[in-house]
Amino acid sequence: MAKPPNHPPPCPPGRPAGIPPWHAPSPEARAAFTAALKPDGKGLVAAIAQAHGTGEVLMLAWMNAEAVAETLQTGRVTYYSRSRRALWRKGETSGQVQHLIDLRLDCDGDALLATVHQEGVACHTGRRSCFSWGLEGQAVKPLEPVLAAPATLYGAG
């Protein structure tokens, strides 16, 4: 099996109306940002996605230096999938793309905060946020509705 080229795919055509166009930082700035990362033993840092405008926490995922560099270059949020051991471009399968507004590093260099414009839902369960579960009485239950059927998003049941 041929290895894919070592460059990110182009950003999907156009960004939604109402969000600023993406202007990639220079290669030197991207390199400085990734050099500031303090990843764990597996080369990963936690990445929190927060909705632009509302501050809603949408999800937590993982990034490695390659995912950070691609995110900064394309303006489309890219994570590292621990289960697939590969880059995961948010929305690649589901169409639920995250457009980067801002990417910040915490004071320790081991966590990132991505402010994003979320197209559709962020959670693979079809809910707006992955943080939509909580206590209802004595049971842990979903507190937010399913907005998109996972079978529709991923083509599986």
- Is position 108 annotated in a ligand binding site? yes
Is 110 annotated as ligand-binding?
yes
106 assigned to a ligand binding site: yes
Alpha-helix residue ranges (DSSP H) falling in 12-126: 27-35, 65-74
Distance in angstroms (rounded) separating the CA atoms of residues 74 and 116: 13
DSSP annotation of 90 reads T
Long-range Cβ contacts of 5-14 (<8 Å, 24+ apart)? 8/70, 8/73, 8/74, 8/78, 9/74, 9/89, 10/74, 11/74, 11/75, 11/76, 12/76, 12/97
The binding site for Zn(2+) consists of 107, 123, 130
Give the residue numbers of the binding site for Mg(2+).
Answer: 106, 108, 110
Binding-site positions read: 106-108, 110, 123, 130
